Amino acid sequence: MVAALLAWLPFATAAPSPTPEPFLSGLSFPTNMAFAPDGRLFFTEKETGQIRIVRNGALLPKPFATLPVVSGAERGLLGIALDPHFDVTPWVYVYFTDATDGRNRLIRIKAHGDVGGAQQTLLDLLDASSGIHNGGDLTFGADGMLYVTVGETGNQALAQDATQLGGKVLRLEPNGSIPADNPFSPEGTPNEAWTKGNRNSFGLCVDPDSGDCGKRRTDPTSTTRSTCSPEAATTAGPTSRDA
């Protein structure tokens, strides 16, 4: 019987490949998304500066918030993350290029249901006039800290300079303060950097099982993945390519 089954297997009809179907359409350059505990999907639109919400499969007509963004090139509304205790502390964290002064900025917005309320600026970042290498991805780690990718805006020298914010993965407390155990805080001097030597990391995620943090970076010839541990990233070369 086993022999007969093995003889039949090569002729079995392969299962059809799944056909992707659009979930939402008519959007303006979605860049990042985050799920709330109740199943709502929050996502960002790069060019409009709008944070949108999808509830029960339907896009809500009114944006959660609209931020003044510099659009075009690699600027705009770039990253989003929700507080890991969103049910209790409903903060929405976003990274965007602020049209008021042309700088990248990290803020958080208090959620009141489906509407954004008070805003708090957590970090003023680099001038984005070059239009490139702005980073902007956000995620919370298993340690409850906020991790933020910051590009070097085309200035490669920033990436290996631990005193500069450019070309780094940052690690912050949820309120924007600097954890005391960050690796580049010599003699008790606070430093936001968790890794250095990063050209322009786009992707940032945490393995839900191991808690390991990983990032994705793109250079002119390739896209690669690497760990975002400080031990790995501090070995990057002076040309500011990710480890």
> How many Cα atoms within 13 Å fall on the side-chain side of residue 223?
4
**According to CATH, where is 2.40.10.500 located in the chain?**
26-131
| Element containing residue 194 per DSSP (H, E) | strand 193-196
What is the pLDDT at residue 128? 96
What is the pLDDT at residue 234? 46
Cα 228 to Cα 31, 195, 196: the distances in Å are 21, 7, 9
Q: In the numeric block, which tokens belong to residue 159?
A: 């990436």
Whether the pTM exceeds 0.75: the reply is: yes
Q: What kind of architecture, by CATH, is found in domain 26-131? A: Beta Barrel (2.40)
pLDDT in tens for each of the 243 residues of the chain? Answer: 444 444 545 555 667 888 988 888 889 999 999 999 999 999 999 999 999 999 999 999 999 999 999 999 999 999 999 999 999 999 999 999 999 999 999 999 999 999 999 999 999 999 999 999 999 999 999 999 999 999 999 999 999 998 899 999 999 999 999 999 999 887 678 999 999 988 888 778 787 777 677 655 554 444 444 455 555 444 333 333 443
What is the pLDDT at residue 121? 98
Helix and strand totals (H; E) in the chain: 2, 16
| Element containing residue 168 per DSSP (H, E) | strand 168-172
